[in-house]
Amino acid sequence: MIRFRSLRVRMVVFLVALLGIVQAAEFLLTNDASYSAARNKIEDEFSVGQRVFARVLQQNSERLSQAASVLASDFAFREAIATGDTGTLLSALENQGARINAKAVLYVDLKGQVIADTLRPDIPPHAFEFPELIARARTGSVASTTDLLHGQAYQLIAVPVKAPVTIGWIVVCFPLDLALAQDLRQLTGLDVSFANEQQGRWNIFATTLPAAVADTLRTGLPDYADALDTRVLQLPEGQQQMRLVPLADDAHVAAVLQRPIASAMASFRTLRATLVVLGFLSLAISIAGSVLIALSITRPIELLLAAVKRIRRGDYSEEISVPREDEIGALAQGMEHMRTGIAEREQQILKLAYEDPLTQLPNRSQFALELEQGITQARTRGRSLAIMVMDLDRFKYVNDSLGHGVGDHVLREVGSRLRLMQGDIGCVARLGGDEFALLVHESDVAAVIGVAHRIIKALEVPIIYDGQPLDVGTSIGIAMFPAHGDKSETLVRNADIAMYVAKRTRSGCAVYEKNYDTSQQEHLSLLGELRHAVEHDELRLHYQPKVDLHSATVGACEALLRWNHPRRGVVPPAAFIPFAEHTGYIKVLSRWVLEEAVRQLGAWRREGLLLQVSVNLSARDLLNRELPETIAAILAQHQVPASALCLEITESGFMEDPTHALRVLERLAEIGLQLSIDDYGTGYSSLSYLMKLPAKELKIDRSFVSHVSGDADLRTIVSSTIEMGHRLGMKVVAEGVEDSESYALLRELGCDTAQGYYMSPPLPPEAFQAWLEGRLPTAEPISVARWDRSPCAPSPDAAQQQTARDRTG
Amino acid sequence: MAPRHSTLLLTVATACLASLASAADLIVHVQSAANAPVEDAIVYAVPASPPAPAAGLKYSIDQVNREFVPRINVVQTGTAVRFPNSDNIRHSVYSFSPAKVFTMKLYAGKSADAVVFDKAGLVVLGCNIHDLMVSWLLVVDTPYFARTDHDGTAMFSRLPPGDYTLRTWHEPMTEDQQGAEALHVDAGAGALTHTVHIGTP
């Protein structure tokens, strides 16, 4: 079976087949109906012809009878018959016969004897051949019959001759001849043949048929009895409609009426031909119509199919438009909605994929693409390109303390500020968290730094949230293409490294340098080494004395972490503390420091050395709720009273999460631990927080102290800070005391404790103890000479070490 | 009545035939084959030696309402017959009968010449203008003739003795179809009665 895959072909084939069947059926039915109608019609026509024939023949007979009657009543004729001799009689008969076109006229007397016969004038009187005709004429006045006379078919009419009573009859003979046949044919529309059958052989006297047809008719006719019943006669010329009309039954004389069926059916054939033509015409029109309908259905479907293919390829550009009112139009409309919907959603997906929903800035992926593009462009144009990576200082604090809503607000605000600067910048993206990246189409490093500073400046303006100003700074790392890498990943990573450097150095922005990378690498490897250090006892605590300025005695010291790396030697805290904080390893480190410090404290106490030891805590430690319990356990383990341990915390450490931190600090204070505020004056120095903290000690940052003797402003700050500390009920410690002037000045200003290289650098426990023993047990004023004996004189990198130490806080 | 002319028979009953005395009366009954009396039959007796045709005898057949009146007539040979024409229309009386062939126009209110029938025989009279007018005139060679009345009876008075041929005619018999029988009348025979049958036996 043939299968049509195409809907169009299927529809066309179906419709054409259907229409063909309908047309064929219609044609067959019509043909059949019109055929039988035509047959009935020609039958009817024939019957009418037959009736007309009979009527005409009768009328003809009546006409002839009348004519004969008129003739017979002619007086002179009657006189001639009644009184004349045979010759006169014959001539009169001939004369009268000629008047009415009779073929022959006979005179029959009352005895039935033929007295005169115009056909055979010389024959003697003899009995008339058709006495029955005379008998009928006797009773009526006129009688007629058709019969054979002398081998010829005649219509015989007997009329009485009255003188004035009947004296005899004239018999007028009209032959059934061609003229009569033609007359009848003209009136009936049928061919007329006068014929006589004798012993199965037909003789035709006269016929309207052509001679050849007459001949076939003569031989084709069945014998008389059968012919009477024949309706259709098969002749070599074709089928004939036929009737045999008996004229003289006894003599087998009849008229054959006939008509070729073909000619009778001619009008039907014309009709059928018209039907065929019309059928084919309407079939053709129907096929054309169905093809058009099929096309009108399938063409829009093909259009829709094409549109679907386009959409599948991801091409949403072309509108799907099939302007129709019907279902296909509705389908097209639906697909058009679908197309725009899909396009919109894809746009949204793309947006989600490449845009940060919070700031509406490009996201990391988009930035990577832009960067790749920028790199390609810069490479082909032989130009440089700068990328910046920045994050927000103190963002975590804002986010954690004020909530994510505020954090989001800050990010949005930063995003919009950066967007405002887009004129200078190729692309601004949010990489995630508080990290942003910028692409700067600028070759000049100085100019790039200029852009970075403008950004810093723009972010220095406080962000207002709920009427409250939020101060968010930023650190920016810069990497240049191609100087700092020719791949996007490398560039981003290097800018990231530079950003950490900038953050660490608080310089605002930093351009990537090769050695940053290595130090960063070191950081990475440090984690493992740091673990190793903790586990293999590479860490040490050094102690720096805190000298009581009032009594010039040492009652306390600060424990400072030192790492004696087996290969690198002494690693400064700045090189690993930030890293430890970053990785969370600071927790382990702080615990180690606390344990070691408390252990040392316990050891000293057992020796009778009653000192207070200060330990620096990281901001992270303050978020550890278990810290108080941990410390309490350590103290208990080493049988050290809480008051012997002082915890130094920085403001910034506290402010990362003040609520948490404050709770932990209060708990620590409850235990009896001393709390000290470290590096006071460098951070926010929020007085409200200062008030809240349960601290008993305030350490002025060394940046104020180290040069206090030579700077009046510094002296004012230090002086007022001391004043303030005292007013708040805290002892004030000055660290970074490096000369006698400062020492003297601080004492003069009422500072309670001093710490610094002027007195002693941080020392290992044994050296510290020795230093103490050199100083102690007497509490005498400190003399410079005693300092010179110090085993550890200040070294050139001491300052750096001091700076680094700050970061351990 | 439809008598067969060709087979018309005249039967004369001879039951009472006897020798007649001179000048006898004769009554003839004419009956049909079914013994019904026949009216308007003409019965005439022709003597063995016929008398000479009469002279001066006159007869009249009128035309009234397009009919000959009377319709059935009998005259002795030599009688002059007039056709007075009582109608106010023309008639054209004719005869093709061998006894007398003639044609005569009859004008309304104008007397035409009489026609003398000088030969015995049956004459059928017609009108050339009106075909339906028919009259029968029997011309006989004897003064002894009579018509049957309603009872089919014909009366002869004072018939001289002698031999006669008694003939009977009735419409529409031809001459040949008349019956004929011999009749002898004795002198002083008195009244004779005779029955004649006409029609098919």
pLDDT 10s digits, A502-529: 887 777 888 888 777 665 555 556 677 8
User: Hey, are the CB atoms on B133 and A167 less than 8 Å from each other?
Assistant: no
Residue A133 near residue A123 (C-beta atoms within 8 A): no
Architecture of domain B53-141: Sandwich (2.60)
Closest CB to B131: pick one of A73, A79, A83. Answer: A73
Give CATH 2.60.40.1120 domain extents, chain B: 21-51+142-201
DSSP-derived secondary structure for B79-92: EEEE----SSS-EE
A78 CB neighbours in chain B (<8 A) are 96
> Residue A630's closest CA among A573, A676, A680, A588?
A588
DSSP label of A355:
B
Interface A–B counts its CB contacts (< 8 A) at: 31
Find the residue in B nearest to A75 (Cα): B128
Which class for A787: exposed (0-12), middle (13-18), buried (19 or more C-beta within 10 A)? middle
ipTM: 0.74
Residue A84's contacts (CB-CB under 8 Å, 6 or more residues apart) are A92
What is this structure's pTM?
A: 0.46
Residue A460's contacts (CB-CB under 8 Å, 6 or more residues apart) are A473
A163 CB neighbours in chain B (<8 A) are 96, 124, 126
Q: Does domain B21-51+142-201 have CATH number 2.60.40.1120?
A: yes
Kind and range of the H or E run holding A146: strand A143-149
User: Hey, are the CB atoms on A82 and B131 less than 8 Å from each other?
Assistant: no
Task: Tell me whether B152 touches chain A (CB under 8 Å).
Answer: no
User: Hey, are the CB atoms on A164 and B131 less than 8 Å from each other?
Assistant: yes
B residues 102..141 contacting A (CB < 8 A): 124-128, 131-134
DSSP-derived secondary structure for A679-710: EETTS---HHHHHHS--SEEEE-HHHHTTGGG
User: Hey, are the CB atoms on A110 and B172 less than 8 Å from each other?
Assistant: no
CA dihedral A138, A142, A148, A154 (to 10 degrees): 160
User: Hey, are the CB atoms on B5 and A110 less than 8 Å from each other?
Assistant: yes
B6 CB neighbours in chain A (<8 A) are 110-111
The percentage of chain B sitting over the pLDDT mark of 90, rounded to a whole number, equals 10
Q: What is the pLDDT of residue B137?
A: 92
Q: What is the pLDDT of residue A681?
A: 81
Q: What is the pLDDT of residue A4?
A: 66
B128 CB neighbours in chain A (<8 A) are 75
Find the residue in B nearest to A76 (Cα): B128
Q: What is the pLDDT of residue B11?
A: 37
What CA–CA distance (Å, rounded) separates A671 from A629? Answer: 9
User: Hey, are the CB atoms on A164 and B126 less than 8 Å from each other?
Assistant: yes
User: Hey, are the CB atoms on A111 and B6 less than 8 Å from each other?
Assistant: yes
Give CATH 2.60.40.420 domain extents, chain B: 53-141
Residue environment code for A684-704, b if the CB has 16+ CB neighbours within 10 A, otherwise e: eeeeebbeebebbbbbbbbbb
Instruction: Calculate the alpha carbon distances from A746 to A31, A724, A761, A786, B173 in Å.
Output: 136, 15, 19, 20, 207
A110 CB neighbours in chain B (<8 A) are 5-6, 174
How confident is the model over A569-611, as pLDDT tens digits?
Answer: 777 777 778 777 777 788 888 889 999 999 999 999 988 888 8
Q: How many CA atoms lie within 13 A of A178 on its CB side?
A: 5
Q: Kindly report the nearest CA distance between residue B53 and chain A, in angstroms.
A: 25
Which regions of chain B are under pLDDT 70?
A: 1-23, 189, 200-201
Residue B18's contacts (CB-CB under 8 Å, 6 or more residues apart) are B186, B189, B192
Which regions of chain A are under pLDDT 50?
A: 776-809
Residue A773's contacts (CB-CB under 8 Å, 6 or more residues apart) are none
Closest CB to A165: pick one of B6, B127, B172. Answer: B172
User: Hey, are the CB atoms on B96 and A79 less than 8 Å from each other?
Assistant: yes
Strands (E), chain B: 9-12, 24-31, 42-47, 58-60, 62-64, 67-69, 72-76, 79-82, 91-95, 102-106, 115-117, 121-127, 134-140, 145-147, 153-159, 162-169, 179-185, 191-199
Outline where A355-487 has alpha helix (H).
364-381, 395-402, 404-420, 445-460
Closest CB to B96: pick one of A73, A110, A163. Answer: A163
Q: What is the pLDDT of residue A734?
A: 93
Q: What is the pLDDT of residue A789?
A: 31
What CA–CA distance (Å, rounded) separates A514 from A518? Answer: 7
- Identify residue A792 by its one-letter amino acid code: C
Closest CB to B124: pick one of A79, A83, A164. Answer: A164
Q: Kindly report the nearest CA distance between residue B14 and chain A, in angstroms.
A: 31
Largest CA distance in chain B: 53
Residue A733 near residue A701 (C-beta atoms within 8 A): no
A165 CB neighbours in chain B (<8 A) are 124, 126, 134, 172
Residue A107 near residue A71 (C-beta atoms within 8 A): no
